[in-house]
Structure formats: C-alpha cells, structure tokens
Amino acid sequence: MVLESSIITQRSLLYAESASGGPVRQRWVFAFMGFLALVMAYGMRVSLSIAITEMTIKPENNETLPIDDTCPMDNDLPHSNVTSSSGTYNWDEYTQGIILSSFYWGYVITQLPGALLAEKYGGKHTLGFGILITAALTIAIPEAIRLGESTALIVLRIFMGLSEGVTLPALNVMLSQWAPPSERSKTGSFVYVGAPLGAVFATAVSGLILKHMEWPIVFYFFGGIGAVWWVIWCLVCYNTPREHPFITEEEAKYLHQELSEHAHVKPPPVPWRHLLTSMPLWALIAVQIGHDWAFYTIATDLPKYMSSVLHFSVESNGYLSSMPYIGMWLCCVVMSWIADRLIFSKVLSITAVRKLGTTIASIGPGVFIVMASYTKCDKVLTVTMFILGVTLLGSGIPSLKVNALDLSPNYAGTVMAISNGAAACTGILTPYIVGVLTTDQKISQWRIVFWIIFGILAATNLFYLLFASGEVAEWNDPELMKRKKEEKKNMVSKELNV
C-alpha cells in the first residue's frame, strides 16, 4: 500500500515536471483570468462603499458628544468637507444600509441556479455573462440614481447581485476541472484572493477618482473594465482541458491523471439527501458565515468608519481602506504555500491544515477588530488594528474556499453555492445592522458592531473544529455509494440464508 502510494506520488511529480515546461500552461491562464474575474466582481460591488461617502450629505459634527465617543477634526480633512453642505443626496444611515445590503438580496438567490447551470453546461459562459451583465448595470448606476434616487439604486443593486451570484459557484466548477489536488491550495487561493484585491482596487482607485472627478466616473470606470475582461475571457478560457484547443498534450495528460479519480466528465445527479445531512458540509457553511460576516462588514462599512468617525479625507479614505486587503492578500499567498507544503510533506492531514487556517482566520481578526474600537481617536493605531485583523482573515481563504473542492470535486459548484449562498446572507444583514446601530456614528456604537463580529467568528469556528473534514466525501460518487449499498444488501441476504 505504501509502495503503491509512493509510485503514484512519483508519477504525479513526473507529470507535473513535464507539464511545467514549454509554452504557458493553460491552467495558469485560467487561474489568472479567474483571479481577475473576482477582482472585477468585487471592484464593481465595493466601489459604491467609497462613492456613497461623497454622494450623500454628511451630518454635522456634534461637538456636545463626550471626547471619547467622537473624534475631533484635524488637518487631514478641511472642516468644510464634513459639514452638511457636502454631497448631493440626503440618505440617512438606515437608507445607506439598505442600499449597501440590497446587492446581496439578489446575490443569494442565484448561487444554486448558477452552480447547477455551470455543472450542466460549463462555467465559462455562466461566469462570463454574469460579470458582463453586472458591468452593464454598474455603468447604468448614475442614470438610475438621476431618475429614481435611492429606490432606483436599490433595484439596480438587486439585479447586480442576481448577475454576480453565479460567480463563485461557476469558478469552483471550473477549478474542479483545472486545479489538480497537488496544486489545489495554491491555485484556489490565487483565484479567490481576487476578492480582497478587488476590494483594494475598488477602494484605492475610487478614492483617487473621487478626488479629481465626479462620482459617476467611478461606476463608468469599473463597469468598463468589467466588459473588457469579458471579451478576453471568452477568447482564452474554456470549460475543461478536454475542450481547450491550445492545451499541450503533456498538460492534458497531467490534468487527466490528477483529476480523473474523483472528478467525472458527467457527474450523476446531485445526491441531495446525503449532501444536506453531511456534517462536514454544515461545518463549512458555519465557518464561511463567520468569515463572510467579518469580511462583508469591513468591506462594506470600513470606508464609512474612516470618513464619519475618523474624518479621513476621501483620498486618504480610499488608500487606507484598501491597506487591510493588501495584508489579506499577502497572508493568503503565504498560508496557501504553507498549506500545500504541510499536506505534501504529510506533516498534517488535509483536515488539520484546513482547521488550522480557519482558526487563525477567526480568532486573530476578531481580537484585532475589537481592539480597534478601544484605540479611541488614535488614527495610526486604529488603522494598524484593522490592517492586522483583516490580514489574518486571509488565512481562511486556502482553507474554507478550497474545502468545497476537498469534499466534492464532482459537485464543487453546488457545495460552493450552498456554503457561499448561506454566507452571503450576512451581506444582507451586516449593512442593515451597522445602519441601525451606528445612527450617530459614535465609537461606542461601532464597538458593538465589532464585538458582534468577534462573537460570530468564535462560535462558527468552534463548530468547524468539531465537524469539518478535508477528505473527499462518500457522496461525491453516488455510483460508488449505490454499489456499496448493493454489496451490503447482498451480504445481509447471505447471512440470513446461512
């Protein structure tokens, strides 16, 4: 058994070596374009979080509040920029919360349909048209606001969510066909780190645009580059290696060798009963809810905290709000490399590596984000706490995002749709909760928001530690389950006859 395992490992390494030379590998092309897909998707999604700080009329600074509950103005931002004269639209915190959460009302709905479409017809056009439609709707935002203000923007954001909801399930379906197990942590992490880098891109570029130009340019820019991505995607990416006209024979053989055991060309129908009673799947759902609760709260509302509480200028807001995601990206890259090394060298099992990654990504961010609310108005220390907290969130990407591929290569899209769809509900809740709890933009109000993040991260990670698995689930192969059931039935019959 050990000898057989050693031979298989050596053969995989030989394939990997032969598949690494020569022309650019098509699995790398797919990974890069998948990474850019998430950069585009999150750029179009998050850009409103910065733009809305300049679109809306800001409340007057209340000088009667105690000094430890509000921050004074300083030279970073002229006082005239934070009075009620700035902005155009008089949308209160509650309305802004509804606007920012409305994207996720649609986003949740299309997770599972997107997965089923991608598993049946392929992820290329499911993902491609989702991004293209989102890009067109992003370009339409300024005109929609002109015609119908907040109501029109909410409706448009719902449709953007419907279009973008297919993104992660379709990507996961394609990853199951293009990412061999020996490269899964690195490839999956490289693709999924496009999400925080999309937030970096959106916040930094939006801040720069808003400093020099009008806010509608933000949406024209991000919608435009999303459309350009779609053109390139259609030209260079394909659903599977079998469909790709330019893939080398060596790479095709390598991918077939690595992926054929657990990933079928045409998987049987989804075994819903076994899937929905799988505790490792519920553990994945739980930990992704915790991770996304923290990520969506920060991605959606950190720019508001920087603007309304710490009083950073729009340009500084854009740059500083993007810095935590750079740390998240670096952490993800480092942890994905460490994860693959630990698994390949057999220092830890796949399950142990996934649990380690999610624990770091839960406890660390929870602690630092809460600490940020106790630094009062020390801007350097507050930003440092946010950077450290969001950086450690990156440790979860090589674990919870890749865990869907661990459990079921055949139904990776469906598993991702279920876990990501459940977690996306936090995108509906968090902006609303922030809007309700931070009506006066006091530090004490935001402290409650940050403690909620800590509690949810800790609770969901505990559930994951108890029930998670990094091994391929038995229900990944319904035909095998059927044969085992028949064998068990035959054995029982023989024993009864005896």
Contact of 250 with 257, CB cutoff 8 Å: no
Q: Which tokens in the block code for residue 122?
A: 């392929």
Q: What is the pLDDT along the chain (498 residues), one digit of tens a residue?
A: 333 334 333 344 334 444 444 467 888 899 999 999 999 998 998 888 888 878 887 655 544 444 456 666 654 444 334 433 356 778 887 888 888 889 989 998 998 898 888 888 888 999 999 999 999 999 999 999 989 888 999 999 999 999 999 998 899 888 888 888 777 777 887 888 888 788 888 888 888 898 888 899 999 999 999 999 999 999 999 988 888 888 888 888 888 777 765 555 566 777 888 888 899 999 999 999 999 898 888 877 777 777 777 777 666 766 677 778 788 888 888 888 888 888 888 888 889 999 999 999 999 999 999 998 888 788 888 888 888 988 898 888 888 878 887 888 778 778 888 888 888 888 888 877 887 888 777 888 888 999 999 999 999 999 999 999 888 888 887 666 666 666 666 665 666 665
**279-304 vs 412-437: helix axis angle to the nearest 10?**
40
CATH of 24-59+90-251+272-496, one of 3.40.50.2300, 3.30.70.260, 1.20.1250.20, 3.90.550.10: 1.20.1250.20
Structural domain boundaries in the chain = 24-59+90-251+272-496
Torsion sign, CA atoms 321, 324, 328, 329: positive
- Please count the other Cβ atoms lying within 10 Å of the Cβ belonging to residue 122: 18
CA 417 distance to own-chain centroid: 12
- Please count the other Cβ atoms lying within 10 Å of the Cβ belonging to residue 438: 22
Instruction: Say what the pLDDT of residue 124 is.
Output: 93
Residues 391, 378: Cα–Cα separation, whole Å = 20
Residues 255, 258: Cα–Cα separation, whole Å = 5
Instruction: Say what the pLDDT of residue 189 is.
Output: 78
Residues 102, 91: Cα–Cα separation, whole Å = 15
Backbone angles phi, psi at 298, to 5 degrees: -70, -45
Residues 401, 291: Cα–Cα separation, whole Å = 10
Residues 376, 197: Cα–Cα separation, whole Å = 28
Backbone angles phi, psi at 319, to 5 degrees: -65, -45
> At a CB cut-off of 8 Å and minimum separation 6, what does 272 contact?
none
Concatenate the DSSP letters of all residues of 283-321 into one string. Answer: HHHHHHHHHHHHHHHHHHHHHHIIIIIS---HHHHHHHH
* Helix boundaries (H) for 396-469: 402-407, 412-437, 443-467
> At a CB cut-off of 8 Å and minimum separation 6, what does 463 contact?
282, 283, 286, 287
